[in-house]
Chains A and B, each alone.
Chain A
Amino acid sequence: MFLINCPFCGEREQSEFKAGGEAHIVRPKQPTELSDDEWAEYLFMRKNIKGVQFERWNHVHGCRKWFNMVRDTSNDQIKAVYKMGEKPPVE
């Protein structure tokens, strides 16, 4: 079970959090102008990388804030956490 360093609360147990899938997928500003394929790309397509992945997490049983995490899915090492809207750290 991970120890997650919530950017708002500090280190907490994983059981307080909920994973929210891939990060940095921006909802299109004008969905009505997208083709079916473009909309499907936004709606359905996710990477699911083995290795370093950018993810959204929610401190659902804590401050309820969403934030981003950089995690290596091959060994579960958490490389960084940062607030929504902040730029991802460069490797």
Chain B
Amino acid sequence: MTNNLRFKTSRFIDETYRISFKFNNKTYFGFKGDTLASALLANGIHLVGRSFKYHRPRGIMTSGSEEPNAIIQLNDNSSRTEPNVRATEVEIYEGLVASSQNCWPSVNFDVGGINNLLSPILPAGFYYKTFMWPASFWEKYEYFIRKSAGLGKSPKVADPDIYEHHYMHCDVLVIGGGISGIMAAKMAAKNGFKTLLVEEKSYLGGSSIYDNSEFSKINNQITSSWLEKEINEISKLENLEIKTRTSVAAYHGYNFLLARENLTDHLPISQRENKVRQRLLKIRAKKVITATGSIERPLIFDNNDRPGIMLSSAIKKYIDLYGVACGENNILFTNNDTAYETAMSLIQRGIKINAIIDNREQIDSKISYEVEKNNIKIYKGYSVVDTYGYRRINKISIMKLSKDGQTVIGDKTKLNCDCLGLSGGWTPAVHLFTQSGGKLKFREEDQVFIPNVYPSDQISIGSCNGDFSLDEIIKNTLSSIKKFLDIDNSEYKTIETISGLNQSKRNIWLLPSDKSIGKTKSFVDYQNDATAKDIKLALREGFRSIEHVKRYTTTGMGTDQGKLGNMHALGIISETAGTKMGEHGTTTFRPPYTPLTFGTIVGRNVGEFFDIFRRTPIHDWHVANNAEFENVGQWKRAWYYPKDNENMHQAVQRESKAARDSAGILDASTLGKIDIQGTDASEFLNRVYTNAWSKLAVGKCRYGLMLNEDGMVYDDGVTTRLGENHYIMTTTTGGAANVLGKLEDYLQTEWPELDVYLSSVTDHYATISVCGPNSKKIVSKVIPDLDLSDEKFPHMSFKNAKINNIKCRVMRISFTGEHSYEINIQANFGKSVWEKCMEAGKDFNITPYGTETMHLLRAEKGFIIVGQDTDATLTPIDLQMDWIVSKKKYDFIGKRSLYRSDTIREDRKQLVGLLTENPEEVLEEGAQIVADIKKSPIEMLGHVTSSYYSPNLKKSIALGVVKGGKNMLGQKLIIPMENKNINVTVADPVFLDKEGERLNAKL
């Protein structure tokens, strides 16, 4: 039977170029120009997959992106494998491999087909109703449900292809290269607008490009010939860029659109190396012309889903464009005239049409008379009530429709066929229009939603605007584009059109059956197996909102988003509920219009480019010295430096000990640095920090705590007064950008009268911190000219200095509790100064330490880390840092909030130290803290925020927040863990050297 399905008529198919491909492990042949769907049909294959829920055999239904059934797994078992690809959109290439989804062991014999027999007990909401109790069993159910559900298989290895993002700007964007889009693009480009035309298919012209019928003509030429000349003309226009294989995925506000351009998917895999596969176009258009056409509606009747049942327009396209006959004994079932166009295309090639079943009693159009003349039997006023054939349709039965169309009457007639074309009229593709925020209106005459209110500078033309006849399309396109672009010259003189079609239609959303509805399977959403019965059940169970019915029945929730059936669902709801169609509105159309690959969405931002990361000027040294790195915000910070196969714990213990026993060195370049200048700089600091700044002498440093207006700790750091009106503020590494933003906010919006200027200088300086009892000796070797005596350079002060003529700032400040210096030098000298320090510290066992050791050392001293020990719910009082809150200052950010009824509560969580009963036991950060484990439910008092084993104290130490912790010193608490309870005692958070002797020791 597969011999004469291909007809040598199409100029779109190159029969000299044969292509072999594999489908379900069998090799087939097609030609250049074929889609996978047309090539399969040419080989007599309709059955390509199984349905989602009932595992019913399903065939190719459409010829475009609206396809619900023919979704396949492409490039099986390779890194390029891709699930849920529409066979109707895949252009075949040599070596293509594809297979059916959702079936086992094969598409011809699928074990899951049992679900079809079980369907009476699998109604809408089955899973919700059946598996909701007992709730604890869900985990068990879920495993089996998930195993039996699901469409394709996702790839298991990295995608080898390259993707990219590309910005485009234009005066006019035309979406859709059908007849109206081509006319619009020509008018725009010729009138001086920079125009971009995008078309999802590989060719321009839409359905008119293969309209060779005598019944629709333009200026007395066959439509396709006329259009071909137009395409030739526009392809030469300089002002016009044309992108085919480009599908608009999203239409956002302010005419911002996303489109996916397919560049290599049609090429054999061997030719794809080093080429960009898909490009996400980010288009900003001044004006948008939407010409997305329309999608043919199927008809809803019992068993309307068998392989061999297709849209009538698809049958026409397969024969006219691809030269492929979908069946050898066809029947068309219609409620309007467009099926007669399909009939004429088949008749012209001598392909048998057994009958046409037409809902309408009266048919009065030239084209229908012509079909009748060819001795095709037309059953007027009839409906299909059932179909037969498991893997391929072989028979239908028809009955006469009653006058009101609500029932079927008379005898059942059976007719043979191997292909049934459905034509239920057309649905304008308004998806993009509504995504942009456009409001639709319902047109009663032919039951369609069409664009009504435009939210941005845009217009819809052609059949997506509800113009279905050739005459209307051309006339309205000309007049609306002229008006929209405000141009006089339409570029077209008179256009005469002839059409043999009449626009009459008999719309019945759900066709009547001789069976009760409960016994029928009339599919509304093919992909998700939602039937008319399910929708009616949902309504009976009380669902009214279209959005609820959609979710309950899963209508329109497949990968095709119900492009075919959504209108019928609405129609059935309004008929059943007795409401008017327009009243329900539609469900929301969400981007993307057709699925996008993850590759397209992420573009080049993969692997190391997934997120940018920042390196300090000393980074290379850390790498060369075996550092492990930690991500802090976007920074890569040296975490610890393992030596001789040390693990992290061993390295950190060694580093921590060395820093206190002799000398440690830390790369602190990531700390945020903000340069503050202006005559009101001191006043500004007074307002943003909790403590007082006016009296800080030039050359001195001070630690500051910054709150939010709600009184919660926001950031901290040391700020140094460099001059009378000049400060440098340091912030936490992660908080730098936000702090600058917050300070700018207050300066610009609340205190514009202050003369203060802020500038981020984080990247301008490298910061090297040298600490420990030998730090002074080391720094004096690096900067011999600097007087490091305690008299001249005491703790919390700053000096300008020079290293080899390079200016640097040296601060004597400490985050470890040790005597320490911070050298700030312009970034490009950072590494050499670091190396100098290492050289100078050689005799003192100078030990580079990373963030982990830094955290340990500061925890020994009870210094907080904002963001680790705090979480935006702690005030300075909660942190037992009352000393830093000025009582004298009239105001600062957050001051008023410190005595709100909530912030003065005694039982707030407060920061405390925690010591474990067993000094070797190290707590887990984040562990819960409780007092009484017998009470149920156990009251959670707080949690552990920082925890380490201190090599200097030779015991485990931790910080935590505990309700009312301030008054619990010495009290015993419990940390309940999975397999044990750990006893702890509340302690002072300062574990080491509370008196600060180490800091001020005479060295």
Contacts and interface: CB of A to CB of B under 8 A. Distances in A.
Q: Interface residues of B toward A: which range? A: 20 to 34
A13 B252 CA distance: 13
Contacts of A27: 709, 750
Contact of A66 (B437, B744, B901): B744
B901 A36 contact: yes
Interface of A: 1-3, 13, 18, 20, 26-27, 30-32, 34, 36, 39-40, 43, 56, 58, 60, 64-66, 75-76, 84-85
Contacts of B752: 84-85
Interface in B727-758: 741, 744-745, 748-750, 752
Contacts of A20: 745
Nearest to B760: A64
B258 to A, nearest CB: 10
A39 B901 CA distance: 11
Nearest to A60: B741
Contacts of A30: 891
A65 B709 CA distance: 21
B252 A1 contact: yes
B897 interface: yes
B896 interface: yes
B629 interface: no
A67 B710 CA distance: 23
A32 B890 contact: yes
Interface string B249-281: 000111010000000000000000000000000
Nearest to B901: A36
B991 to A, nearest CB: 36
Contacts of A64: 744
Contacts of A56: 749
28 contacts: A1-B254, A1-B256, A2-B253, A3-B256, A26-B750, A27-B709, A30-B891, A31-B891, A31-B895, A32-B890, A32-B896, A36-B900, A39-B900, A43-B709, A43-B710, A56-B749, A58-B741, A66-B745, A66-B748, A66-B749, A75-B437, A75-B455, A76-B253, A76-B437, A84-B748, A84-B749, A84-B752, A85-B752
Contacts of A34: 896
A58 B742 CA distance: 11
B436 to A, nearest CB: 11
A76 B253 CA distance: 8
A43 B744 CA distance: 19
Nearest to B256: A1
A42 to B, nearest CB: 8
B21 to A, nearest CB: 40
A3 B256 CA distance: 9
Interface string B831-868: 00000000000000000000000000000000000000
B284 interface: yes
Contacts of B748: 65-66, 84
B900 A32 contact: no
B895 A39 contact: no
Contacts of B741: 18, 58, 60
A43 B745 contact: no
Nearest to A3: B254
A39 B710 CA distance: 10
Nearest to A26: B750
B687 to A, nearest CB: 10
Contacts of B744: 58, 64, 66
Contacts of A2: 253-254
Given A27-B750, A85-B752, A32 B891 contact: yes
A40 B901 CA distance: 11
Contacts of A43: 709-710, 897
B284 A3 contact: yes
Nearest to B892: A31
A66 B747 CA distance: 10
A39 B346 CA distance: 79
In this complex, the member of B254, B741, B890 whose beta carbon has the largest number of chain A beta carbons within 10 angstroms is: B254
A64 B674 CA distance: 15
A91 B254 CA distance: 22
A20, A60, A66 interface centre (most CB from chain B within 10 Å): A66
Contacts of A26: 750
Nearest to B711: A43
B453 to A, nearest CB: 10
Nearest to B255: A3
B891 to A, nearest CB: 6
A85 B751 CA distance: 11
Contacts of B897: 39, 43
> Which 7 residue pairs of A and B lie closest in terms of their CB atoms, listed nearest first?
A31-B896, A1-B256, A66-B748, A3-B254, A27-B750, A76-B253, A39-B896
Interface in B90-129: none
Contacts of A13: 284
Contacts of B896: 31-32, 34, 39
Contacts of B745: 20, 58, 66
Contact of A32 (B253, B710, B749, B895): B895
Contacts of B749: 56, 66, 84
A14 to B, nearest CB: 8
Given A64-B744, A66-B745, A76-B253, 4 more contacts: A32-B895, A43-B710, A58-B744, A66-B749
Interface in B878-897: 890-891, 895-897
Contact of B900 (A3, A40, A66, A75): A40
A24 B253 CA distance: 26
A40 B46 CA distance: 68
Contacts of A76: 253-254, 437
A40 B749 CA distance: 20
Nearest to B745: A66
Contacts of A18: 741
Contacts of B710: 43
A89 to B, nearest CB: 18
A75 B896 CA distance: 38
Contacts of B900: 36, 39-40
Nearest to A67: B748
Contacts of B252: 1
A30 B891 CA distance: 8
A40 to B, nearest CB: 7
Contacts of B709: 27, 43
A3 B255 CA distance: 9
Contacts of A75: 437, 455
A2 to B, nearest CB: 5
Contacts of A58: 741, 744-745
Contacts of B750: 26-27
Nearest to B744: A64
A32 B894 CA distance: 11
A20 B750 CA distance: 14
Nearest to A44: B710
Interface string B226-265: 0000000000000000000000000011101000000000
B898 to A, nearest CB: 10
A63 B252 CA distance: 26
Contacts of A39: 896-897, 900
Contacts of A1: 252-254, 256
A77 B694 CA distance: 47
Nearest to A23: B749
Nearest to B437: A75
A34 to B, nearest CB: 7
B656 to A, nearest CB: 39
A85 to B, nearest CB: 6
A58 B895 CA distance: 25
A32 B709 CA distance: 13
B984 to A, nearest CB: 36
Contacts of B890: 32
B452 to A, nearest CB: 14
A36 B428 CA distance: 58
Contacts of B254: 1-3, 76
A54 B710 CA distance: 23
Contacts of A65: 748
A55 to B, nearest CB: 12
Nearest to A77: B455
